[in-house]
Amino acid sequence: MFEKYNKVQRAVLETTLNIIIRKELQATSMSLIAKESGVSTGNIYHYFQSKEDIVNELYKAIVTFNGEYVREGLLQGRTIREQFEAGWNRVVELGQKYPQGFQFIEQYSFSPYIYDEVKQAVYTDGWCGPMNKLYEEAIQQKLFIPLNPKLMVQMHYGTLVYILKAHLQGIFELTGDSVQEVIRSCWKAVQLADDTITER
């Protein structure tokens, strides 16, 4: 997740993510980060400008990592339908394999603590751009109804985020089958009516 950083930076970022999810941004003090990461406060400031800088760097790193992970999935599919399924499956995998990073992005994507410039990274380094493209193509090929593709992507992302959230909160179990069912229903929600036959 933090390959491009050195040992100290990695320890700090990992620890910070850990504490923020476990406690709160409010309760995430520099002294606690120092204690848990094994890096002294003085040394932390050798590698980061400020606490804000740490949190924003963390945000950027996770968005980039998630972006690569999902884009890699998109490449696996040949047809639009396959890309659709592979892409959203990767999003769900992210939520399950890296729940802390997933929760962090979710909780702070609307926080004023994250700089606007860093938030924009979702479109440049994240997976939003390629996914929007895929939806545009699906509309052109008359697979999807003619709605704003960005709106549709948000819809489907929200769908998955919320079943993952509820799952992480223990409201219900999430089997591989039910995930597939949800992704299929996402397709069904926006598919053009006369495409119904190709649907299993």
Partner DNA sequence: CAAATTGGAATGAACGTTCGATTTGATGGT
Partner DNA sequence: ACCATCAAATCGAACGTTCATTCCAATTTG
- Contacting positions for its own copies (CB under 8 A): 22-27, 103, 106-107, 110-113, 145, 147-148, 150-151, 154-163, 165-166, 169, 171-172, 178, 181-182, 185-186, 188-190, 196
Task: Determine contact, residues 187/180, Cβ cutoff 8 Å.
Answer: no
Nearest approach, Cβ of 114 to DNA (angstroms)?
15
Of 51 and 165, nearer to DNA (C-beta) is 51
Residue (52 or 82) nearer to DNA, CB: 52
Give, for 44, the enclosing helix (H) or strand (E). helix 41-47
In 3-state terms, what secondary structure has residue 191?
strand
Residue 110 binding result from DNA, its own copies, none, given CB thresholds of 5 to 8 Å by partner type:
its own copies
Of 45 and 172, nearer to DNA (C-beta) is 45
Residues 6+ apart with CB under 8 A from 118: 56, 59, 60
Q: Which does 41 bind (CB under 5 to 8 A by kind): DNA, its own copies, none?
A: DNA
Nearer to DNA, 38 or 158 (CB): 38
**What's the rounded Cα separation, in Å, for the pair 31 and 44?**
10
> Which of 29/148 has CB closer to DNA?
29
Residue of 104, 70, 106 lying closest to 87 (CA atoms): 70
Q: How far is the CB of 23 from DNA (least distance, A)?
A: 10
Closest separation between CB of residue 105 and its own copies, Å? Answer: 12
Those residues whose C-beta lies under 8 Å from the C-beta of residue 147, and which sit 6 or more positions away, are: 139, 190
Task: Residue count of the chain, please give it.
Answer: 200
* Cβ atoms < 10 Å from Cβ of 82: 12
> Which of its own copies, DNA, none does 196 bind, CB closer than 5 to 8 A by kind?
its own copies
- 164 and 92 Cβ atoms separated by less than 8 Å: yes
Q: How far is the CB of 45 from DNA (least distance, A)?
A: 4
Give the span between the Cα atoms of 2 and 174, in whole angstroms. 28
The CB-of-51 to DNA minimum distance in angstroms stands at 4
The tokens for 99 are 């729940």
- Interface residues with DNA (CB under 7 A) are 7-8, 27-32, 38-43, 45-47, 50-52
